[in-house]
Amino acid sequence: MEIPAGLTESAFFKLLGCRLHSLEAGVAQVALGLAPELRNRGGKLHGGALFSLVDIAMGLACSSTHGFDQQSATIECKINYIRAVSDGEVMCTARVIHPGRRTLVVEADVMQGDKLVAKAQGTFAVL
41 neighbors 101 (Cβ within 8 angstroms) = no
pTM: 0.95
Q: Give me the CATH number covering residue 89.
A: 3.10.129.10
Domain that holds residue 86: 5-126
104 neighbors 62 (Cβ within 8 angstroms) = yes
Q: What is the CA radius of gyration of the chain?
A: 14
Number of structural domains in the chain: 1
Tell me the sheet residues that pair with 84. Answer: none
Q: How high is the pLDDT of residue 6?
A: 81
Tell me the CA distances in angstroms from 109 to 1, 60, 73, 75, 96, one per residue in order.
Answer: 23, 14, 20, 19, 12
User: What 3-state DSSP class applies to 70?
Assistant: coil
Could you give phi then psi for residue 16, rounded to 5 degrees?
-70, -25
Q: How high is the pLDDT of residue 96?
A: 98
Blockwise average pLDDT, block size 10, the chain, 127 residues:
79 96 96 97 96 97 93 94 94 97 97 97 96
